[in-house]
Amino acid sequence: MNSLLLTRHQAEGATLASFSGCTLPESFAPDWKDEWRLAREAVALFDTNWHAISILTGPDRVRYLNAIVSNDVQSLAEGQGTLALLLDARAHILAELEVYVQPDRLLVLSHASVRESTMATLDKYIIMDDVQLDDATDRFGTIAVEGIQAGAIISEATGISFTGLGEFQGARTKIAGMECYIVRRSHFGAPGAEIIAPVEKLEAIWNTLHSVVHAFHGGPLGMMALNALRLEAGIPWFPLDFDDSVIPQEAALEDTHLSFTKGCYTGQEIVERVRSRGHVNRRRVRLSFGTAAEPPAPGTMLRAGDLDVGEVTSAAFSPAAGTPIGMGYLRAEYTSPGTIVDAEGRKATVLGPDPATPKRSIRTGV
């Protein structure tokens, strides 16, 4: 899948690359760390067209989706949203979802790499429900703005008070006269917003925001810098850091993607059994790779003496830490902060819990 803004990025001289099956800007500047610095110190504009987008309509849409996903959709009011997971019967993660409640529909974002399988799974559970499922991926695209100046930019571009929105709250609005849906959404732990708009309006909205971002001393952000920023914030990515090989508690998603009070859903029995037992045999952790010059590749084995005890799922050089950092899975007995394991000849140290994780959902009104 190619970004819907590919031609625009090429005109700006961006370097392109494939990320989990999606062609996106790798970097805009000769040195991606300059983009990282702008995002940290001012604001960044970036392409998030790795989403598959589904729309659910019909009177049973909320009850239906609430019965098959891991988080509480039923109690969300109009304008609210939440993260959730689509699980199989063994509680393995089929997809990460973002669910947003609009007046006449549910807007559901997943990852393009599992677009077909996610649509098939969602469709499979529509049996006696009055629900219509629409794959809208080819009709809508997404853009994000994030950084300490994001609130001022969103307010200037839309007239919406950014501070009045909680995380995952959204509203319909216009940018330069073009209709879109804006959600307060952080991708790397800073104040941020994501804009969902019709394909034919997306480039014009990008151009408008590009000008405003530059006026606030920011700039466009490629995936290399975004990857470093989100790893520094401890935010895992689907499908790099969790996929259908793990269950939610192994991926350390219980505080962000699960409800333990909503009742039954597919995979809930296993999730509850793990919660009652109180532990898993392996766990996603944050890692620092010390003085290593290059980050290890995904799949690098982690060893303690002669034992294979885990593997790296993602890594990048962190300008903030001055060293490569990443994520991976380790056997439970090796997950305590400060534990040191071997990553194919380099030292890997387990860091503390994720410093910035998005809230599960927002229960206050827009």
Q: Residues 50-64: pLDDT tens digits?
A: 999 999 999 999 999
Assign residue 247 the CATH number of its domain.
Answer: 3.30.1360.120
CB half-sphere exposure, 269, CA atoms < 13 A: 4
93 and 219 share one domain: yes
Query: What pLDDT is recorded for position 362?
Result: 34
Residue among 202, 254, 228 at smallest CA distance from 91: 254
Over residues 155-179, the mean pLDDT reads 93
92 and 159 share one domain: yes
Going from the C-alpha of 281 to that of each of 82, 88, 153, 244, the distances in angstroms are 28, 19, 45, 16
pLDDT greater than 70 at residue 98: yes
Rg, the chain, Cα only? 20
244 and 316 share one domain: no
166 and 293 share one domain: no
Residue among 316, 314, 326, 318 at smallest CA distance from 350: 326
Using pLDDT thresholds of 50, 70 and 90, give the confidence band for residue 292: low
Alpha carbon 219 to chain centroid, angstroms = 21
224 and 286 share one domain: no
1 and 55 share one domain: yes
pLDDT greater than 50 at residue 366: no
Pair 352, 338: CB distance under 8 Å: no
Using pLDDT thresholds of 50, 70 and 90, give the confidence band for residue 355: confident
* Residue 34 burial class via C-beta count within 10 angstroms: exposed 0-12, middle 13-18, buried 19 and up: middle
Q: Is 366 contained in some domain?
A: no
pLDDT greater than 80 at residue 113: yes
Classify 76 in phi/psi space as left (phi over 0), alpha (psi -120 to 50) or beta.
beta
Q: Is 365 contained in some domain?
A: no
State which residues form the domain around 136. Answer: 1-252
pTM for the model = 0.95
Query: What pLDDT is recorded for position 358?
Result: 46
Query: What pLDDT is recorded for position 48?
Result: 98
89 and 212 share one domain: yes
Q: Is 149 contained in some domain?
A: yes
Q: Is 272 contained in some domain?
A: no
Q: Is 189 contained in some domain?
A: yes
Assign residue 345 the CATH number of its domain.
Answer: 2.40.30.110
170 and 314 share one domain: no
Going from the C-alpha of 346 to that of each of 296, 305, 319, 341, 352, the distances in angstroms are 9, 13, 19, 9, 19
Residues 6+ apart with CB under 8 A from 348: 287, 288, 289, 290, 296, 302, 312, 328, 340, 341, 342
As for how many domains the chain has, the answer is 2
Q: Rounded to whole angstroms, how far apart are CA atoms 45 and 216?
A: 11
pLDDT greater than 80 at residue 365: no
Task: Please write the tens of the pLDDT for every residue from 223-252.
Answer: 999 999 999 999 999 999 999 999 999 999
Query: What pLDDT is recorded for position 168?
Result: 96
Task: Please write the tens of the pLDDT for every residue from 323-333.
Answer: 999 999 999 99
Pair 54, 118: CB distance under 8 Å: yes
Query: What pLDDT is recorded for position 44?
Result: 98
Over residues 195-214, the mean pLDDT reads 97
Percentage helix, strand, coil for the chain under 3-state DSSP, each rounded to 5: 25, 35, 40
33 and 182 share one domain: yes
Q: Which residues pair with 93 in a beta bridge?
A: 87
Q: Is 223 contained in some domain?
A: yes
Q: Rounded to whole angstroms, how far apart are CA atoms 342 and 72?
A: 40
Tokens of 15: 């370097």
- Percentage of residues in the chain having pLDDT higher than 90: 92
340 and 205 share one domain: no
Over residues 180-184, the mean pLDDT reads 97
Q: Is 259 contained in some domain?
A: no
202 and 247 share one domain: yes
**Which of 99-108, 156-165, 167-176 has the weakest average pLDDT?**
156-165
50 and 151 share one domain: yes
Helix (H), strand (E) at residue 42:
none
Order of all β-strands in the sheet with 105-111: 81-87, 93-102, 105-111, 51-57, 132-135
Q: Which residues pair with 343 in a beta bridge?
A: 346
Q: Rounded to whole angstroms, how far apart are CA atoms 20 and 238?
A: 9
Q: Which of 252, 271, 293 marks a domain boundary? A: 252
Using pLDDT thresholds of 50, 70 and 90, give the confidence band for residue 356: low
Q: Which residues pair with 27 in a beta bridge?
A: 15
Q: Rounded to whole angstroms, how far apart are CA atoms 319 and 336?
A: 25
Over residues 135-151, the mean pLDDT reads 97
Q: Is 194 contained in some domain?
A: yes
Using pLDDT thresholds of 50, 70 and 90, give the confidence band for residue 162: confident
Is the previous residue joined to 59 through a cis bond, with omega within 30 degrees of 0? no
Going from the C-alpha of 111 to that of each of 119, 262, 338, the distances in angstroms are 11, 25, 33
pLDDT greater than 50 at residue 194: yes
Helices (H), the chain: 6-11, 32-41, 61-66, 115-124, 150-158, 199-215, 223-232, 268-277
Query: What pLDDT is recorded for position 278?
Result: 82
Query: What pLDDT is recorded for position 291?
Result: 78
Amino acid at site 227: N
Over residues 108-118, the mean pLDDT reads 98
